[in-house]
Amino acid sequence: MQYLSTIRVLFTMFPEIKTQNLVTGRKSGVMRQNAPPQGRRMGETSMAWLLLLPFIGLLWVPFYNFETPTLFGFPFFYWYQIAWVPISSLLTYVVWRSKRWGDEA
Amino acid sequence: MISADIDWSAFAVFAFFFILVSAMGFVAARWRRPKTLAHIDEWGLGGRQFGTWITWFLVGGDFYTAYTVIAVPALVYAVGAYGFFALPYTIIVYPIVFAIMPRLWAVAAKAGHVTAADVVHARYGSRPLELAVALTGVIATMPYIALQLIGMEVVIKALGLNGEIPLIVAFLILAFYTYSAGLRAPALIAFVKDIMIYIVVIVAVAIIPLKLGGYSAVFAAAQAGFQAKGSGSITLAPAQYLPYATLALGSAMAAFMYPHTLTGIFASSSGATIRKNAVLLPAYTLLLGLIALMGYMAYAAGIKPATANEVVPTLFKALFPGWFAGFAFAAIGIGALVPAAVMSIGAANLFTRNFWKAYVNPSMSASTEAKVAKTASLLVKLGALAFILLLDNSIALNLQLLGGLWILQTFPSVVFGLFTGWFTGRALFVGWAVGFFGGSFVAWTDGLKPLHTLTYDGAHYTLYVGILALVANIVVAALLSIIPGFAKQPLIKQA
């Protein structure tokens, strides 16, 4: 069972990702327990609309159905869509950090 | 069983990793050991305690299946840019997960629901709707498990092993450790599988273009190949825009309605775990985009695979030493085990909670539930195995295609109730029936093609038939919800 406990150790090495709250500048984790519960928004407006951008950017095909400009040998069609992977992830991250979600203790 | 051209170094590496993960599967029952495994929450959901990293590996290992690694490059090899719809699909799926799944998780965790059909039943108090969601989940999953077997068959064949015995042996081992350890087995194995896949893909996308003269040479060779063939292209034809976008959207909405992906959601420890994963899981999408390009690398490497499904194995055998090819095949083979295990667990949970408990033994205890689910998971896997051994592979493929359409029709029933009280159970049931049967009928009359062409005012619009069926489904459900007779059935307030 030795390697099982090794895996357990790996988890304790990488616990929850601790990051700055973009809006409040607070660290997540311990501080969050003192924060007001129940979905109170820290910013004035919800950032949830940002989640619509990947749909617009990717589902409207005429935006990107081109071979040029190429990047690292990739035609535009390919690198444009691949670029949306980190962009979409970043947008999701911003939305997540932009407000306190009622279901997250 | 063993042909003359077996590559022993590849085989040895493959066998080593396969035995390693099999051992892990059996000891997984003791991992994060619960007081008892004889409870459906423990066996079927791993105790609802998987944090960010375990969920990342589990959902990643379960959503990006072995079949994906085989089929996406195969499609890109065959048709070009059109096959790339898997990329927008697996990007927009995460905003959807972010918006919906933490709520679904919270409802399920609070009330102890194990399946989507449990949630639906609690929300609308409708047994028919619960059964519709559960049945759709099971029949959409069966061909999906069968496809994992096809993926495994492809790499076993590439190793030089012929016949069906290796496949049967691999699957029986899988069936036994899933039976004993439940969701803990694929969760633990997913670590090995995903790390192996990452290594394989990073090495492949770095080294293969070096050998072939860079990515511009790869794309140029692919374009030349399509021109020589007279079909396919590295960009889309205007007529493909709508099919490309609707396939991506429909697939993304369907993706987390499947029992195996939902099992990963229900098994996680909190809504925050799910939101973090919506941010972190796209790392696998990056991988998928690179895997898809192997379809083009095949042109640059000048290989001539016998079937499109053999593109990836043939490419690895042509460009890498035997031991690394064996490592890659092991990654794909193990990549079939993880989703197959989770799929059978998800289907077994549905059978237990929404059929056995609902109609056969309503008063059964949690430990009886676990027992029923374990047996059901064995039967589901044997069914999928029989499917592959007895029927033509194209049947599994067609059914899986229909499976996407089917599971998409459960979206309104599962999701809408989390956000609004507008829809009634009966209306959603009729909407489901219209989408399910209407969509299947349209796909059937089109020769089991996923696309359907509408003509309006002389113009032709070709769309993914699943989206058409979903629109009909939603329109019917919304209209019937305001008809008094249909609204009679009271909504059950969410706990």
State the Cα–Cα distance between residues A34 and B199, nearest whole angstrom.
42
State the Cα–Cα distance between residues B440 and B193, nearest whole angstrom.
35
**Model pTM score:** 0.85
B55 touches chain A (CB under 8 A): no
Q: How far is A89 from chain B (nearest CA, A)?
A: 5
Can you give the pLDDT at residue A69? 92
User: Does the residue A80 lie in any domain?
Assistant: yes
Can you give the pLDDT at residue B44? 83
Q: Using 50, 70 and 90 to split pLDDT, how confident is the model at B4?
A: low
B272 touches chain A (CB under 8 A): yes
Interval B301-316 mean pLDDT:
87
Among A15-29, B25-39, B71-85, B326-340, which stretch is predicted with the lowest mean pLDDT?
Answer: A15-29
B103 touches chain A (CB under 8 A): yes
The domain in which residue A92 lies consists of: 2-98
Is a pLDDT exceeding 80 seen at residue B216?
yes
Q: Using 50, 70 and 90 to split pLDDT, how confident is the model at A2?
A: very low
Q: How far is B208 from chain A (nearest CA, A)?
A: 14
B92, A104: Cβ pair inside 8 Å? no
Strands (E), B347-429: none
Closest CB to A82 among B271, B276, B289 = B289
Q: Using 50, 70 and 90 to split pLDDT, how confident is the model at B487?
A: low
Can you give the pLDDT at residue B34? 73
pLDDT in tens, B339-382: 999 999 999 999 998 998 888 888 888 888 888 999 999 998 88
Backbone φ and ψ for B39, nearest 5 degrees, come out as -145, 135
Q: Give A-chain residues touching B219 at CB under 8 angstroms.
A: 73-75, 78
Closest CB to B286 among A62, A77, A82 = A82
**How many CB atoms lie under 10 A from the CB of residue B399?**
20
Can you give the pLDDT at residue B64? 87
User: Does the residue A103 lie in any domain?
Assistant: no
Residue/partner pairs of B200-204 with CB below 8 Å, 24 or more apart: B200/B327, B200/B328, B200/B331, B201/B287, B201/B290, B201/B291, B203/B324, B204/B290, B204/B294, B204/B316, B204/B328
Interval B82-101 mean pLDDT:
94
Can you give the pLDDT at residue A22? 41
User: Does the residue A105 lie in any domain?
Assistant: no
Q: How many domains does chain A have?
A: 1
Q: Is A61 helix (H, G, I), strand (E, B) or coil?
A: helix
State the Cα–Cα distance between residues B131 and B121, nearest whole angstrom.
9
Can you give the pLDDT at residue B317? 87
pLDDT in tens, B37-79: 778 888 888 888 888 888 898 898 888 888 788 889 999 999 9
State the Cα–Cα distance between residues B476 and B321, nearest whole angstrom.
57
Interval A44-60 mean pLDDT:
86
A92, B279: Cβ pair inside 8 Å? yes
Q: Which residues pair with B161 in a beta bridge?
A: B2
A88, B27: Cβ pair inside 8 Å? no
Q: Give B-chain residues touching A78 at CB under 8 angstroms.
A: 84, 219, 289, 293
B234, A77: Cβ pair inside 8 Å? yes
Length of chain B: 495
User: Does the residue A12 lie in any domain?
Assistant: yes
User: Does the residue A104 lie in any domain?
Assistant: no
For domain B8-392, which architecture applies?
Up-down Bundle (1.20)
